[in-house]
């Protein structure tokens, strides 16, 4: 796989996406904390969104993931599961869930990481989750956070 690194210095992170993926503008109607979204133009069965939001004091990645779990349940997602995960080489959390409709599935895997006064979410969505498992795992491993100057 050929990767390209996308730096987002204003938000304190860098994300690595496949070379042939394109960046799209954030959809602030989806969330005011959305900072970037990426898609493969030739295959819209998967996409990635990155969120960065202020951290409420005392929350860890698992607590942030549990908050997202409640929101996703309200939007019709099922099979929700939060587990520990390594994100950007640090302890984090992973939330997995899916929405089923007319024999189709949209599976979501979100990786959460707390850094400084913010939390980050690498939100991966797929209509072919088994095929994208290794891709999303690699993206979470390559995700980078850094201090804002």
Report pLDDT for 149.
58
Report pLDDT digits (tens) over 42-58. Answer: 988 999 999 999 987 78
DSSP for 71-91, written as a single string: HHHHTT-EEEEEEEEEETTEE
Report pLDDT for 124.
97
Confidence of residue 135 (pLDDT cuts 50, 70, 90): very high
Res. 117: pLDDT tops 80: yes
> In terms of Cα–Cα distance, which of 129, 89, 91 is closest to 109?
129
Contact 98, 106 (CB under 8 A): yes
Q: Give φ, ψ of 2 to 5 degrees.
A: -95, 125
Q: Give φ, ψ of 63 to 5 degrees.
A: -65, -40
Report pLDDT digits (tens) over 5-39. Answer: 999 999 999 999 999 999 999 999 999 999 999 99
Provide the CATH number for the domain around residue 76.
3.40.1000.10
Length of the chain: 149
Q: What is the pTM of this model?
A: 0.94
| Domain interval for residue 119 | 3-145
Report pLDDT for 44.
86
Where helices occur in the chain by DSSP H, the ranges are 61-74, 129-142
Q: How many domains does one find in the chain?
A: 1
Residue 90: CB partners within 8 Å, gap ≥ 6?
Answer: 113, 115, 145
Tokens of 40: 């493969």
Report pLDDT digits (tens) over 76-113. Answer: 999 999 999 999 999 999 999 999 998 899 999 999 99
């Amino acid at each position: 796989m050929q990767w390209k690194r996308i730096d987002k210095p204003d938000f304190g992170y860098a994300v690595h996406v496949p070379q042939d993926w394109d960046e799209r503008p954030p959809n602030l109607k989806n969330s005011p904390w959305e900072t970037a979204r990426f898609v493969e133009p030739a295959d819209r069965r998967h996409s990635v969104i990155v969120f960065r939001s202020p951290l409420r004091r005392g929350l860890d990645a698992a607590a942030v993931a549990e908050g997202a779990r409640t929101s996703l349940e309200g939007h019709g997602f099922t099979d929700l599961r939060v587990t520990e995960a390594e994100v950007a080489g640090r302890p984090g959390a992973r939330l997995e869930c899916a929405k089923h409709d007319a024999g189709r599935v949209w599976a979501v895997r979100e990786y959460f990481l707390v850094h400084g006064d913010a939390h980050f979410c690498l939100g991966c969505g797929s209509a072919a989750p088994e095929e994208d498992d290794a891709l999303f795992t690699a993206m979470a491993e390559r995700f980078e956070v850094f201090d804002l100057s």
